[in-house]
Every structure is written in structure tokens, then in C-alpha cells.
Structure 1
């Protein structure tokens, strides 16, 4: 009699089966499900974004891009000013620098999110 000693670990693996693992009917059902989910996601995003967002125009996007550039310039100017002062910068100056960085990064992320919803067709530029 052979005995095995050890520990067995099982992990849940979430994955879709490959086409080789599915028969034709299952592949068709899976494809139909994916298409329904894509349409549902598209419809939900269109409905919610249309209700929540103001009109997106090229002028709005330009103003946003300019504002992001201004925030970037302000952040970098604060950083460059800090290197002109010898020693450890005061905590208040570092807090101010961090506040400027966060404002720049947050608005930049928002701009990229707007670009994504336009690219995906959830909303349109008027």
C-alpha cells in the first residue's frame, strides 16, 4: 500500500473556456451572452452619462486641457521654488506642493476618463 503525505491546496480559477473546450452551441451561447453584456454596458453608460454630464464640446475639452496645463505649471513652479531654499523644506511648503500635485493629477485623470467615454461611444462631442 502506498501512502502520500502532503497538503492539497485548491484555488478557484475563474476563466472562460477556450473554443476548443466548448462545442459549437456553447460557443454561440457564450458569444451571444458577451454581445448582450456589451450592449447592456453601453446602454447603461449612455443613459447615466447623458443624464449626469453637461454637453461636451471641443471648447469644453480645450478649457479643460488648458486648466490642466496651468495646474501642471503651478505644481512644477512650486517644486522648483522648493529647491532654491536650502535645507529641509517646511512642512507647510510640502503640503502646498502636495495639494498642487493632487489637483493636477486629479484633473488629468478626469480628462482621460472623459476621453475614454468618448472613445467607447458612451457620449459624444457636440
Structure 2
């Protein structure tokens, strides 16, 4: 693999799934080529923990649409694990940023994201 820097933007880095992904990224043999930025809510302990791992903390939330869009536009890879199935605005912000990146340099990007599903089936119904 080339020694070119790969910009990775990760949301949900302090959560269960995002934290597992971050651990995997930090253990990757090419981690020295990664510039990892993680969206972190403004909790000082979380920010300090992420920074101590060599990850750039970006303070914000899924409602920080301008921050999401800008970070996505600067990234080769966006991994969005802090969303829910009905959080369309955060996904639109990220897609807008990725589209800007594609328009600027014509290169493809990678955007895996995770969402949750909840289906309630009353006990009286057979499913």
C-alpha cells in the first residue's frame, strides 16, 4: 500500500460499535498512514481519551450539520456509527460533504454506516 495519508472520519468512536472500529483502525498495520478524526460530544474526558490515542477529536454531535459536512468533505473514508435509522439530517450532511469531495477531485470515497432497528411485536401476536 502507498504511504499516502488516508483521512478517516469516524462518528460514535466512544460507543460500543464505533469504539470497536476505532480499536481495529489503531491496530491496523498501516495505521501510520491514517489521519483519524473522531466526532466527540463536548465531554472533556472523552475528548482527552480520544486525543491520548493519537486521534483528532472534533467536538460536535449529529446535529452539528456544518461540522459533519466539512469533516466528510475532507475525508477519504467516513464511518458513521452514531446514527439511528431515523436520523436523516446527519446522513444528508455527510453525503453533502462527500459529494463536495467527489466534485472537487473526481475520486470515489468510502462511506459505511451503521444503524439500529427496533421492531415491537406485542406478546399476543405470533411472529
Q: Is the structural similarity TM-score above 0.5?
A: no
Q: Greater share of helix residues, 1 or 2?
A: 1
Q: Greater share of strand residues, 1 or 2?
A: 2
Q: Quick one: higher RCO (CA 8 Å, sep 6+), 1 or 2?
A: 1
The interval holding the TM-score normalised by the smaller chain is under 0.3
Q: Which has the larger radius of gyration?
A: 1
Q: State the TM-score, normalized to the length of structure 2.
A: 0.24
